[in-house]
Chains A and B, each alone.
Chain A
Amino acid sequence: MRLTFPRMGNSHIPFKALFASLGAEVVVPPPSTRRTAALGSRHAPEFACFPLKMTLGNFIEAAELGADTAVMAGGVGPCRFGYYAQVQKVILQDLGRDLDLVVLEPPKLGWIHLAHQVSRLTGGRGAGALLRAVRLAWAKCNAVDEIERLARTSRPRQGERGAVTRAENAALDLLDRAESARQVQEALEAGRSLIARTVARRTAEMRVGIVGEIFMVLDGFSNMDLERRLGEMGVEVHRFLTMSGWVRANLLPKRYTPAEEREAVGLARPYLDHFVGGHGLESVGGARLYAREGLDGVIQVMPFTCMPEIVAESVLRTVSGDTGVPILTLSFDEHTAEAGLQTRLEAFVDLLRRRRRGAAGG
């Protein structure tokens, strides 16, 4: 069995560790490129949301490299994600791709269950191996999140343009190679100091919070490296949506949900009194949370026509008015142009800068 999975940001690092230590032959889908997006969009339904197209593109490219089985998460609504795999299955069949999609449906979605299923597929390795695999993957998941966080806060303070991104990539590479939980810790320490060495200033010029649909928030290719762009404009980027946070919120009992995320959901209530699927509530509450923390602005990131985020966007106008914090909504799909994005970001950062000066002067 040659196993693959969809890409989302740096999630391939823990996934690869999980499956490989269970004895599966892992085919990591190639990093997403324009070709991935083009393949996905060509074969997916025209109006499907962008994450479906991107992950379909990943599957096709992994199949080209010889993958024969793909693991995909399921869902029970209310949003489209729960039906992605079924749509992708029929499309892959039509394309004559011999890729068997194994869909993990909640509540059986837990990492333990996932690992168990994979270990069965790979011939059963016993509970000890299972536990070690999950522990290694979880360590990598948390370490990747930490490196990403450091990069977000350090980039606006880097001495030389591109230095943080280089250090971040090196750190991620170290994490990817780590073979035990102990090595993960060492790699993380090394990564920390690599990033720390790039920093030349004490504070960033301003701070912006990112909320939105999780795939688009986490996947740098899909959001056109939003965090890097902002960082290079001098913006320190905050976000509470992370890979490990997703695992905690979705696969573990409620008390493990990250505190900020739980708080955001509570803060959303006066503005949005019901869940709407996806991360709609988190987006609304997250904007309030960041306003309360005194951030300069909030950016909502979503795939074009994302349903929960459209509900959130309707409400965010009111939130922006009430809190006085500017909120920019960015939606992405395969037609999004880089130049347009850059212009909108620069205009937004300009606006935030003027507001700062205004506040300081007045």
Chain B
Amino acid sequence: MMVVGIPRGLLFYEYYPLWRAFFQALGIAVETSGPTSRAVLDAGVSRAVDEACLPVKAYLGHCLELAERCDALFVPRVVSVERGAYTCPKLLGLPEIVGSLRTGRPLVTPVVDYTRGGSRAVDAAIACARRLGCGSVRAAWAYVRARLEYRTFTESLQVAGGWFEGAVAGRAETGTADRARPRVLVLGHVYMVNDRGINLGIREHLLRLGVRPVAPQWVARRNWTSGARALPKKLFWTYEKQLFGAAKHVVDRGECDGVIQITSFGCGPDSLVSEFVRREAERSRVPYMALTVDEHAGEAGAVTRLEAFVDMLARRLGDRET
């Protein structure tokens, strides 16, 4: 049986449940790479262009690791997920970036492009299935089924306040009703927030420090959309719009005591949008910290900064109560 490999990186953290369900419904076996390890990271770094961002480097590492265990690599070209906006230039060119690795495995690269509206994902799904030898009708059916499953996943993220691993496994998160303070919004792309191999384990460290981490992905679409209206001009990157809008929503409603924005060195969209997030936080007098990581980032240094930030938050809360 044919095995499709899905690298554990980038939009994996957004869409893996959808992709997995789709291939399963088609009767195609799915293999994923393991968690981001030092070895995966090193392999990616050694083959990537120096100035690429860490998530792209890690992604290449995953492709290299996975290539040995699959017949084809699934590397979608997600150009756009909504009308009039894009994802990120690097995701537009992702299949070619991966192609430069010459892994010897063919790439399956459906194009998802909503820039002009329409329902492009189903087209992409059908094209992808046909490429793998399945018929169109079966593909459409598989896609509809996968969408249903995907909804369960997004709901368990949003309604119950879960994180990627739990939601994928269908586990109910514990401690969602947790009243622990301070609460910190961990603001970042899904692959930054959820991949502990590249985020220096920020969430675990916060939990250890008694902080309740809050994910931007918990904010419902209509809420982040309206939050994003505060930007001076319509933003043409969907995920950045989501980040800003979610931050605005959470900060405005006083649902967090601090914001930590975790970005990769070399992330283009973050480099500009973080400017607006910081201002928004300052305006609402919510402490803000930017944590920029790259392949040389040491966990120890980050932990020191986290501790100082959390101390400060705790002091502020204490002051307010007395």
Contacts and interface: CB of A to CB of B under 8 A. Distances in A.
A90 B95 CA distance: 36
Nearest to A47: B271
Contacts of A79: 89, 268
B4 to A, nearest CB: 20
B233 interface: yes
Chain B interface category by residue count: 35 or more
A305 B268 contact: yes
Contacts of B268: 49, 79-80, 305-307
B292 A310 contact: no
Contacts, number: 118
Nearest to A271: B96
Given A48-B271, A79-B268, A277 B49 contact: no
B90 interface: yes
A52 B53 CA distance: 19
B93 A280 contact: yes
A331 interface: yes
Given A79-B268, A271-B96, A307 B90 contact: yes
Nearest to B86: A78
Contacts of A46: 271
Interface in A54-106: 74, 76-80, 82-83, 86-87, 89-90
A129 interface: no
* Tier of interface size on chain A: 35 or more
Interface string A262-273: 000000000111
Given A47-B271, A89-B232, A305 B266 contact: yes
A276 interface: yes
Interface string B265-307: 1111111101110010000000000001000000000000000
A355 B127 CA distance: 46
A276 B265 CA distance: 20
Contacts of B275: 45, 87, 90
Given A274-B77, A280-B89, A314-B96, A83 B265 contact: no
12 contacts: A48-B272, A78-B92, A80-B268, A86-B233, A89-B232, A273-B95, A276-B92, A277-B89, A278-B89, A280-B89, A306-B51, A311-B89
Interface of B: 48-49, 51-53, 77, 79, 84-90, 92-93, 95-97, 99-100, 111, 231-233, 235-237, 263, 265-272, 274-276, 279, 292
